[in-house]
Structure 1
């Protein structure tokens, strides 16, 4: 049974990007019903946009098999979990002067559009806990991926004392409890990545304690081969950038560079993006361009919704969850 949000979408979203939203949601639903699995990729600052309010339930209901995300999305969901009340909203962010921006910095706020993340309560609060997780692993001679360290921190229970939102709205906590795989390309381009690099430069940690992006790609190759039988794996891309481009490349790598036979293309594709096609932009590339790169096939169901992902993604997830 579909709930009021889903019924509203079906009744009113009849044309243009609205219709594409409905088509993509129904295509996703069909893909899962026929036994397919789905990868969701998160670009931008979707965690700070609190996508966890719907994504966490998608994870709990097994509507997501694997996630690819930026290092920022990996950490910012946990930051919101432990420091939500300290965030500062700036509705008039377009009008801020350079001096007002500097004032935010001096008060230890880092702005993401209209939302400012508090440095002490978010970054530094996590830092002391994640450092201990890294150090303990290094002392034992262990090497893990960035998300695996985050999972260890979350599942240890050490952060529970700081929770400031309902934990059911944290997608990272839901992912940790389900132990679903996450791929985090370019993790070093994040606050925790910067912090880890600083510890390494100061000789307090070793670079080798953190598994690399190349190791993520090798791991993903193995996962894809083992999970693409039957209906195959779909690709639901929120935004563009490395979170999407990195994992989608695993298919051409497997059959072109590894020269493996019978590697299926991604079996569903949807992209939510407000980027336009221009001068080599990956984020704005239409799905058909991906055919030429050996990522999608002629008959792969393809959807592109040219709109704001913070509006579109929660609506699609609500539809899939029957809300």
Structure 2
């Protein structure tokens, strides 16, 4: 029998991403719309264990839809990985009268929420917030679109320098396990080559591609590299290898790092966060639990947390082929 929800807790966990604040806002205002209480949980599972809660209403989330990061902060929690730690969190939630949770984060966040729900029969709903777009059950995670726009803008600026000095730039972007950012930003910015974990280009083929670009008259080149690419140990090793085989190029490396996570969310991410927040709260009120809210064929849909955690986010094969044609 479904539990009646009277007070929801919302928190963010793991790496921050643009759109998290917009999702918090949506959750809080949907609670207000349905006349149930809402509490913000600071610092993710760590704050849950410590009872770091704050009441939130429609006015407490004004002017945050355009802000990057997360007003509820984020933190890793080793203690929550233990059953004793999760019991402390459950006791704190019960004490505060919180009887449902909306978890905003990635697969680590969802794994914790799923285990917690199973152990204590506690209703939970997940909203995917990670710039890597590496969650199964949604075509877009919160922050992914913003990160893409940030990366493309930076690459455009770097290309100005590359073309002015006849340089080859290796630009490393986030993507430890998947190459969504590298592939899409590479195509969007007109990169000469794109290196992603899903496709092992190989050092020889990379050199061949760069030589082909050079012989076609290109005086500079941009190579976008996902941080999880397997060709070299790291992007600096790639730089050294190319320099040793192509002395005609002056090679530089730019690691974009955490700048990809920051900044004001795009309109797409703000709208997506608003849609996901409404769906998460209303699904819990309908008695659903252990689901993640996602975008599938432009429709907001639910995917079981078990599938979201264990499933694999596949690379777009059509776009991969487009990238091969565009780099000719």
Which of the five TM-score ranges fits, normalised by the shorter chain? Answer: under 0.3
Q: Which has the higher contact order (CA 8 A, sep 6+)?
A: 1
Indicate the structure with greater strand content. Answer: 2
**TM-score, scaled relative to structure 2:** 0.28
Higher helix share: 1
The alignment's TM-score, normalised by the length of structure 1, stands at 0.28
